[in-house]
Structure 1
Amino acid sequence: MTQTCADSLIVLDFETTGLSPDMGDRAIEIGAVRLQKGEVVERFQGLMNPGKRVSRFIENYTGITNQMLSSAAPCEEVMHQFANFIGDSNLVAHNASFDKRFLDAELGRISQSYQGQFACSLLVSRRVYQQAPNHKLGSLVSYKNIQSEGQFHRALYDSEMTAKLWMAMVDDIASQMDTKEVPFSFIQKLAKTPKNKVEAVLSKVKG
């Protein structure tokens, strides 16, 4: 059965100690929302203690302090809960390659996996909103006049803003395709389409 973008999706975001789990970096916060038929129906948020101190840069960047993490549950405990939360739903993240690396690494530590497919809202936005000044999450939220009241670089807020951006993009794609339902697999394909061929791909589907 073809999964559409109206089916259950998990939009997620990690805050981390650094850029690469391969270099020993760990997750310090996971935030996610469940979208069903374009509506947020459930939220997940958890700080997690990575077992080491985070840098002053990360503290300033995220607002997550070592004191906050000292009383947080271990990564393993939070990730067990998150594995249950995502189930077999498809997954969306802004700059998904980053979040996927940490999801894979943290779930790998507890011998857990997931069945869903990933889509990257950053790559999709580069195809759909080619005239945007840049494709950072905060810039795209402003570009699309999406209501926002919160702090970027906290996981739950970033996942909520990504979800709103995702819904805006799906609506815009559906409008161009003159359809009510957009297959998730089509969004994945669009993310890999050369920018100069996006219009032709959308026109072909519409036709």
Structure 2
Amino acid sequence: MALMQTTSRTRWVVVDLETTGMSPAKGDRIVEIGAVAVEDGQITETFSSLIHPERSIPYFVQRIHGISDAMVASAPRFAQVLPQFLAFCADSPLISHNAPFDRSFLDFQSTLVTDAPLPHAHLDTLRVARLLLPKLGKHNLDALVQHFGVSLSAKDRHRALGDARATAEIWLKMEAMAASEGKSLLKGWIRRN
């Protein structure tokens, strides 16, 4: 992965996925994608879709995100959702919490459909949180939700759109925190795949 420096960017897309497991290379697939557009410090649009994974969702995974085989039985396939997701993202850089996980699924499944990974730059809020809050201890989404006082109901936790909204709010709070120290996350380094 190369590093790319950004300058004045006003629109970012925060994305979260729910999956059948941990490894796209071992056959796991996306079952839900949620994204929020952030423009000039505000959440302006949302995108969400269940996705038929073309395989069964293990029961222990269903217990985490609450998405069952019945819920995705009539959902569109990833190939049908990808064009809509790409249109929503346009040329905006992506933000995710634990971005390497989400990016691995997006790139793997995008490559199956288009023979190419996503072209978007991708920023990892987990990495940024570790740099900005080294004394916090844990930097998982739950710890950051609690630290920043972000509202995330139990029914929205581990659902893609709910987690994307929470990640967007955390990102905005980290950007404000960095700005108060005379820094800008938007003018910093982001990972480009």
CA deviations over 1:7-48 (Å, ceiling 9, x no partner): 100100111111111111111100000000010111000000
Q: Equivalent of 1:167, from 168, 172, 182? A: 172
> 1:78 Cα shift?
1.2
The secondary structure found in structure 2 opposite 1:15 is strand
> 1:115 Cα shift?
3.4
Which has more helix, going by share of residues? 1
Q: Equivalent residue for 1:26?
A: 29
- Structure 2 CA distance for aligned equivalents of residues 147 and 4 of structure 1: 29
Instruction: Give the letter for the 2:149 counterpart.
Output: N
The secondary structure found in structure 1 opposite 2:48 is strand
May I ask how many residue pairs the two structures share in their alignment?
Answer: 185
Q: Equivalent residue for 2:133?
A: 129
1:10 aligns with 2:13: yes
1:40 aligns with 2:43: yes
Instruction: Give the letter for the 1:141 counterpart.
Output: V
Q: Equivalent residue for 2:68?
A: 65
> 1:110 Cα shift?
1.7
> 1:168 Cα shift?
0.4
> 1:113 Cα shift?
4.8
Q: Equivalent of 2:87, from 84, 87, 92? A: 84
Instruction: Give the letter for the 2:133 counterpart.
Output: Y
- Structure 2 CA distance for aligned equivalents of residues 23 and 185 of structure 1: 36
Q: Greater Rg, structure 1 or structure 2? A: 1
TM-score normalised by L of structure 1: 0.83
Structure 2 portions without partners, runs of 5+: none
> 1:166 Cα shift?
0.3
Matching of residues 80-119 of structure 1 within 5 Å: 80-111=83-114, 113-119=117-123
- Structure 1 CA distance for aligned equivalents of residues 83 and 109 of structure 2: 10
> 1:185 Cα shift?
4.8
**Residues 1:158 and 1:183: Cα distance change in structure 2 (over 3 Å):** closer
- Structure 1 CA distance for aligned equivalents of residues 156 and 6 of structure 2: 36
TM-score normalised by L of structure 2: 0.89
Q: Which moved more, 1:105-114 or 1:28-37?
A: 105-114
- Structure 2 CA distance for aligned equivalents of residues 3 and 63 of structure 1: 39
- Structure 2 CA distance for aligned equivalents of residues 42 and 3 of structure 1: 23
